[in-house]
Amino acid sequence: MLNLDALQEIKRRFAEVNNLMAQPEIATDVRQMRELGREHAALSAVVKVINRYESMRQEADDLRELIQLEDDPELVKMARSELEAIEEDLPDVEEELRFELLPKDPEDAKNAIVEVRAGTGGDEAALFAGDLFRMYQRFVEQHGWKVDVMDSSEGAVGGFKEIVFSVEGPDAYGTLKYENGVHRVQRVPQTESSGRVHTSAASVAVLPEAEDVDVEIQANELKIDVYRSSGPGGQSVNTTDSAVRITHLPTGLVVTCQDEKSQHKNKDKALRVLRSRLYEIKMEEHRAERDEARRSAVGSGDRSAKIRTYNFPQDRVTDHRLEGDNKNNPLHTVIDGNLDVIVQALRAADNAERLAKLG
């Protein structure tokens, strides 16, 4: 049974956040508005389901009262039919509400840094990495979010050896984190003349984009090098030293960025990636100390695990973390950016597992 007092407290806090965001002194505080905006977005989804749940319960109570007091048999019959429909739907709404009430990972609301790297398979792996990038690009566009390429290294025949990009949008990290892992492709490569099906792979890493308050980086911890950016084959594509390489001395992490013509912009982008990588290390250590059991097959972010296979000859995408009807989807729709059905199934499986642990 749901705790009705807890539901009222959530609605009270939602109203309070709405009121705070309307205060002039808060509206001019960028940091506070950002935090309140995230809380508002999270609470808004919960309150929407709470209102639907309460409305259905109230309607059911009204129908029961009508059935007891009404003398008209036809009206009673209609009321019983409506009540049966509500009682049939109510358990599903309760289940949806339980999922919404699960503790949210505060990282989910952040923007994301996505890193796609070609793995085994040579030129074909680079082409596949390019396909994955375009898939994510279309997915992001469908959601009205924004993609910003931070750094890229093109393959010899196309695609990318590596591409790093940010995704800005509500719940970007919470949505894309399920893409962490090794993606495998089975198809006849463009470079293959005999028509044989090859298997290649690319890895995807998704990080929550860290903010200044999340990770503090001292200037003396950085070694910054500038050089001329280059394209495929190493040819120079810029006549100025605009490319930036940042080395974080305490950890040895190295980040490069050369996509912008401005050295200043490249440095800012490289720092964003570095900050997010350091934040991910910090969060991984914290998660491991806090609760090892949370690192389950679904949503664990284990990048060494093969999570999905894209089989072109059979027009099938298989997500190895799912079961039943959700496991396979048409490849031509998925590769065109229609990832929602897979993401929603993974999120539902993750929520169901977390709910089971809570008893």
What pLDDT is recorded for position 289?
57
Q: Can you tell me the distance from the alpha carbon of 233 to that of 359, in angstroms, rounded to the nearest whole number? A: 57
Structure tokens at 198: 């090859």
127 — pLDDT class (breaks 50, 70, 90): very high
What pLDDT is recorded for position 259?
79
Q: Closest Cα to residue 109, out of 163, 154, 156, 173?
A: 173
Model's pTM, two decimal places? 0.70
pLDDT tens per residue, range 245-261: 999 999 999 999 987 88
Q: Residue 95 maps to which CATH number?
A: 1.20.58
Q: Are residues 86 and 26 in the same domain?
A: yes
Task: Give the domain-ending residue among 240, 255, 289.
Answer: 289
The burial class, CB within 10 Å (0-12 / 13-18 / 19+), for 67 is middle
116 — pLDDT class (breaks 50, 70, 90): very high
Q: Are residues 208 and 277 in the same domain?
A: no
Task: Give the domain-ending residue among 51, 69, 101.
Answer: 101
Q: Are residues 144 and 13 in the same domain?
A: no
In a 3-state reduction of DSSP, which class is residue 50?
A: helix
Helix, strand counts (H, E) of the chain:
9, 11
Q: Are residues 246 and 135 in the same domain?
A: no
Q: Are residues 193 and 245 in the same domain?
A: no
% of the chain exceeding 90 in pLDDT? 57
What pLDDT is recorded for position 34?
80
Q: Are residues 115 and 208 in the same domain?
A: yes
pLDDT tens per residue, range 260-313: 888 889 999 999 999 999 988 888 776 665 444 334 433 333 445 699 999 999
Q: Are residues 127 and 268 in the same domain?
A: no
233 — pLDDT class (breaks 50, 70, 90): very low
Highest mean pLDDT among 128-132, 154-158, 229-233: 128-132
* Beta-ladder partners of 246: 224, 255
Q: How much is the average pLDDT of 53-81? A: 94
Q: Can you tell me the distance from the alpha carbon of 242 to that of 251, in angstroms, rounded to the nearest whole number? A: 25
pLDDT at position 79 over 70: yes
Q: Which residues of 289-312 are buried (b: 16+ CB within 10 A; e: fewer)?
A: eeeeeeeeebbbbeeeeebbbbbb
What pLDDT is recorded for position 303?
43
Q: Can you tell me the distance from the alpha carbon of 86 to that of 73, in angstroms, rounded to the nearest whole number? A: 20
What pLDDT is recorded for position 213?
63
Structural domain count, the chain: 3
What pLDDT is recorded for position 154?
92
What pLDDT is recorded for position 212?
67
What pLDDT is recorded for position 166?
94
Structure tokens at 133: 């990038």
CA atoms within 13 A on the CB side of 161: 9
Identify the weakest region by mean pLDDT among 17-26, 84-93, 208-217, 228-237. Answer: 228-237
What pLDDT is recorded for position 298?
38
Q: Closest Cα to residue 295, out of 310, 305, 282, 309?
A: 305
Q: Are residues 301 and 170 in the same domain?
A: yes
Q: Are residues 114 and 204 in the same domain?
A: yes
Task: Give the domain-ending residue among 247, 266, 289.
Answer: 289
Q: Residue 226 maps to which CATH number?
A: 3.30.160.20
CA atoms within 13 A on the CB side of 303: 14
Q: Are residues 204 and 248 in the same domain?
A: no
Q: Are residues 303 and 194 in the same domain?
A: yes
What pLDDT is recorded for position 182?
95
Q: Can you tell me the distance from the alpha carbon of 125 to that of 182, in angstroms, rounded to the nearest whole number? A: 12
Q: Which domain holds residue 20?
A: 4-101
Identify the weakest region by mean pLDDT among 92-96, 101-105, 355-359. Answer: 355-359
CA atoms within 13 A on the CB side of 348: 11
